[in-house]
Structures are given as structure tokens and as C-alpha cells.
Amino acid sequence: MFINNLDQASKILLIDKPKDWTSFDVVKKIRGLVKKKYNIKKIKVGHSGTLDPLATGLLVVCVGNKTKDIRNLELLEKEYVGTIKLGCITDSFDSETPEKERKTYSHLSEKDIADVLCKFHGSIQQLPPIFSAIKVKGERLYKKARRGDKNIELKKRSITILDLKLESVNLPLVKFKVKCSKGTYIRSLAHDIGQKLNCGAYLYELRRVGVGQYKIKDAQSINDIFASL
């Protein structure tokens, strides 16, 4: 009976992650729902591609035997719709930390911004944010950053921007859509765009809308997921 329940519970779920939830919060919630519905004491649950707590959108969650697919799912390209705020930066490259180093941006035209976005197409070197889940000597970087550790050494990574389009400009906010490879930090992309524009920028809002063939339109909210388990 346990094996039958486990086989039944094994599936890939598409979740629309809400803001302020960590990806682990979603996994923990689904694990609890699955154990309750199928009367299972223990089951593996994991996700493909972490979303920051302040981001929303598509989180691909694998349950039971489907967790074997996570490694392949992680290789899929990701698609996001985001908004950056010009004229300042933050230590976290998003709105988790306070704005600082304010600069003027009023001289920038929509063409100026579009031209800079074009420079980020293709294979580029990217420095991850210090507020990230990357492990250095067994500890997550964001833990080091939050306690003010100044001795954080980061190495640039090769990532690929497959497509980057300007959606709208309502200064200081700039909306864009990006399709990118595994390992891309959209917060770093926002920061780097701000540097190229010589006014600074940080990631104001982010929503993941695609992971390979999986799309946000097919995702369910946490509140609705129990019915589909």
C-alpha cells in the first residue's frame, strides 16, 4: 500500500510562488500536503531553480520519484518579466536592502536604455550578488552578507542571455523581458544594466514566467494545489 501511494504521489507540479515565500517554504508546504493526502510518512520533494523570496512566478516542484528529473530540469532555460529602478543601487541588488548612491537618470531616453540592453545579449561574464544562496566554505553567502562579513570573494560565471527585450519605460522604472540560461542572476543583470547606464539600478520586481516548456499560465497557486495532488 505504501508503494502504491508513493507512485500515485510522484508528479511534477507547477506552482505560482507568491511574494515573500522562499522556494523552500513552497517545498515544505507541498511535502506536508502530499503526506496528508496519501498517508505517507516520508517523501522526497524538491524544486528546479530557486526563486528569491521577493520574486513571484513559476516554480517547478518535483514529488517522489519525479525528483530524479530535477537535474535535467535545472538545465532548462528560464524566462522572466522584471522591472528595474534607475537612479540608485542596493547591496542586495533588489529591494531587500535600502537604496543608496542616488544619481540622476532624467537625461536617459528610451533608445539609450534599449541600446544598453542590446549589449547584454549572448554569452557574458556575470558576478553573482553577495546576497545569494551560493555556498562558500559550507556557508550560504547571504548569511555572510547579513552579518556584515567584508571578506567575501566572488568569482564571475559564464551565463547566456538568449533574449532581452525592453517592454516599457516609466522613469525611474524600466520593464523588461529576458530569456536566459541556468545560473543567471537577474538581480546581477539589473545591477549591471544600471552600471552601463551610469546611474545605477536595482531589481524592483521579478516574475518568472517560463522554465523550458513549462509556462506560468499552467501553474497553480499554493491554495489550489491540494486538489490536483
Active site residue 149: no
Handedness of CA 164, 50, 18, 127 (dihedral sign): negative
DSSP per residue, 213-225: TEEGGG-B-GGGG
Catalytic residue chosen out of the listed positions 7, 16, 25, 52 = 52
Crossing angle, helix 2-9 and helix 23-38, to 10 degrees? 140
How many helical (H) and strand (E) elements, i.e. helices and strands, does the chain have? 6, 11
Among 199, 209, 170, smallest CA distance to 81 is for 209
214: β partners = 211
Residues carrying an active site annotation: 52
